[in-house]
Amino acid sequence: MPSRSTARLAALTVAAVCSAASAVVLTSPAHADSVRIHDIQGTTRLSPYAGQKVTDVPGIVTATRTYGSSKGFWLQDPTPDDNPATSEGIFVFTSSTPKVAVGDAVTVTGTVSEYVPGGAATGNQSLTEISKPVVTTVSTGNAVPAPVVIDAKSVPDRYTPQGDSADRGSINNLPLRPDTYALDYYESLEGMNVQVADARVVTATDPYAELWVTVKPDEHRASRGGTVYGSYDSQNTGRLQIQSLGATADFPTADVGDTLAGTTTGPLDFNQYGGYTLVAGRLGTLKSGGLQRETTEKQSDKQLAVATYNVENLDPSDNTFDQHAAAIVHNLQSPDIVSLEEIQDDNGATDDGTVDASVTVNKLIDAIVAAGGPRYDWRAIDPVNDQDGGEPGGNIRQVFLFNPERVSFVDRAGGDSTTAVGVTKVHGKAELTVSPGRIDPASAAWQNSRKPLVGQFVFRGKTVFVIANHLVSKGGDQPLTGQYQPVTRSSENQRHAQAAEVNAFVKDILKVQKNANVLAVGDMNDFEFSGTAQILEGDGELWSAIKSLPANERYTYDYQGNAQVLDQILISPAVRRDDFAYDSVHINSEFHDQISDHDPQVLRFRP
């Protein structure tokens, strides 16, 4: 396949031959001295013509978008310059269904604009466009410029330049270096006809008819076909979002590890939800990778199995109870204790003051029994209405399920939504003052967020403390493909404060009983290498057990082509000294028909 430069020269030759042989000339050609697309795109992310009117910009229509609010067409100059930093393509925003067709040679007069998908507050890069266009058709039936091939050789290994400190860390005005940085490379192709071939799917098809592929098959490859996100300093540069120009009903329903065999071709766009996106006029053929949902091992009689599972806003109106139950019984092998996150109240998102969740929980327990599992008992604390974040009116909370045939719960009265749980010493051992209880619910760290639920369990005569967490989400963090580099992760501020609260509580337990069995489990909304995890771990009070897995198996969530860790089980030294087994059970994150966006985690050990 042609390189970028040869593709441009080939396109010019083909277009010239086609024009001479079969094109229908409708008007006079554009003036030779008119502004061209590469002049408009320039050598930075912002056009030197932004806000100005340009006249008779020539090019070939490569694709049209006739749906959504961003109607228009992509225009590409078949006569490229010799500067690899300047794109030869641009989007022409018509606001209504465009009246041009693919292969039309046109000239465009309009205003150059920098459109930021989602608005400036998102931190997204802008998309250079021509708006309010007057379009003149010169000829029809021309060959579309040959696509530039995006592959492992063309995409640099370095992700992004350092932003300009004098410009709030923005990369907008920095000269593009497409041979050095991946984000610069993609920017240099903005609006151009591009192509990927035999690309492996690394995020399954979502409800919006989007998926992600990698053009670098060996880049941080996960054991099951994804691309692992294992460091802030080593970004996955080969990730690219794929959408379709055609009907979404025809979009492939792909899972991680599948392949878009053959070629996928279309203009390179930039959108709010993922950045650089190949909008495919031609999609490759989906080839299944045969990925199957995992099943963990059954715990032995002497092992305690503890799981954490985010069931994604589960309420009684959902139709996923049977599937969640089957996952818990069969894929998780009926753990002795299951910490559930995102259990909603009994009427879901209806915001009428309801906080009780007994209907939700009991519906799940009944479904587990019907699936052949144990009849779990449960403990939880209802939150104060509308104080724990999540979907408005849903009142999400953590819930303990436990198998009373295998483990008992130590109930101590007094725990409620506003009372802080404490630690006391009884006969030389640590005990909770209330059980279940919540960690310091009045602390500012938990404002508009879930408060950790703490429970005291007994298994084969041994006490085990379990802290069920759902830390604040990453909402508000700057996007990886955004204009500010390195990105600011503003959500960390509250999450770090929450992690410090959890670690301090674990310290309280270990001060009383240094060999106590303590597990901090749940949706931590942060990575195993993150500052949040480091604060949770403290000075050895806890350790994230997912780090016992090989690096290519450490993921619980898949976002924009990055398989990453959000859900964790952290263990105290006494548990770590045991011959424990850890499993991230991949039943959701890699699949288009997921029942939750999180994979559950299971720890087996002998207290």
Q: What is the pLDDT of residues 372-412, one digit of tens each?
A: 999 999 999 999 999 999 999 999 999 999 999 999 999 99
What does DSSP assign to residue 358? H
Please tell me which residue, 287 or 579, carries the higher pLDDT value.
287
Query: Residue 248's pLDDT is what?
Result: 73
Residue 246: band (very low, low, confident or very high) from pLDDT cuts 50, 70, 90: confident
Q: Which residue has the tokens 């906080």?
A: 355
Residues 506, 510: Cα–Cα separation, whole Å: 6
Residue 576: band (very low, low, confident or very high) from pLDDT cuts 50, 70, 90: very high
Query: Residue 28's pLDDT is what?
Result: 40
Query: Residue 27's pLDDT is what?
Result: 39
Please state whether beta strands 453-459 and 462-470 pair in parallel, antiparallel, or not at all (unpaired): antiparallel
Q: Tokens for 17, please give them.
A: 């031959």
3-class secondary structure per residue, 313-325: EECCCCCCHHHHH
CA–CA–CA angle 335, 338, 341 (5° rounding): 150
- Mean pLDDT score, 254-282: 97
Of 87, 10, 81, nearest in space to 41 by CA: 87
What are the start-end ranges of the E strands in 77-191? Answer: 89-93, 105-115, 127-140, 148-149
Q: Is the pLDDT of residue 17 over 90?
A: no
Q: Is the pLDDT of residue 4 over 90?
A: no
Percent of the chain with pLDDT over 90: 93
Query: Residue 171's pLDDT is what?
Result: 98
Please state whether beta strands 517-523 and 462-470 pair in parallel, antiparallel, or not at all (unpaired): parallel
CATH topology of domain 304-605: Deoxyribonuclease I; Chain A (3.60.10)
- Mean pLDDT score, 258-277: 97
What are the start-end ranges of the E strands in 173-284? Answer: 193-203, 211-214, 239-244, 259-271, 275-280
CATH 2.40.50 corresponds to the domain 151-287: yes
Query: Residue 250's pLDDT is what?
Result: 85
The one-letter code for the residue type at 496 is H
Q: Which residue has the tokens 């460091």?
A: 231
The one-letter code for the residue type at 440 is D
Q: Is the pLDDT of residue 265 over 70?
A: yes
pTM: 0.93
Query: Residue 33's pLDDT is what?
Result: 55
* Bond before 486 cis per omega within 30 degrees: yes
Q: Half-sphere exposure of 500 toward its Cβ, with a 13 Å CA cutoff? A: 10
Query: Residue 26's pLDDT is what?
Result: 41
Residue 358: band (very low, low, confident or very high) from pLDDT cuts 50, 70, 90: very high
- Give the tens place of pLDDT for each residue, 173-189: 999 999 999 999 999 99
Q: Tokens for 56, please give them.
A: 């008779």
Query: Residue 49's pLDDT is what?
Result: 98
Q: What is the dihedral of CA 460, 586, 391, 481, to 10 degrees?
A: 140
What does DSSP assign to residue 29? P
3-state secondary structure of 14: helix
Q: Is the pLDDT of residue 5 over 50?
A: no
Sketch the domain layout of the chain as residue ranges: 4-140, 151-287, 304-605
Of 266, 146, 175, nearest in space to 213 by CA: 266
Residues 524, 306: Cα–Cα separation, whole Å: 16
Percent of the chain with pLDDT over 70: 95
In whole numbers, what is the pLDDT of the chain averaged over residues?
94
- Mean pLDDT score, 598-605: 98
Query: Residue 69's pLDDT is what?
Result: 87
Query: Residue 19's pLDDT is what?
Result: 32
CATH topology of domain 4-140: OB fold (Dihydrolipoamide Acetyltransferase, E2P) (2.40.50)
DSSP-assigned states of every residue in 435-461: BSEES-TTSGGGTTSPPPEEEEEEETT
Query: Residue 183's pLDDT is what?
Result: 98
Q: Tokens for 162, please give them.
A: 């350092």
Please state whether beta strands 462-470 and 304-314 pair in parallel, antiparallel, or not at all (unpaired): unpaired
Buried residues in 401-423 as b, exposed as e (16+ CB within 10 A): bbbeebbebeeeeebebebbbeb
- Identical fold for domains 4-140 and 304-605, yes or no, is no
Query: Residue 24's pLDDT is what?
Result: 40
Q: Tokens for 407, please give them.
A: 């483990």
Q: Is the pLDDT of residue 14 over 60?
A: no
Residues 175, 46: Cα–Cα separation, whole Å: 10
| 8 A C-beta contact, residue 212 and residue 204 | no
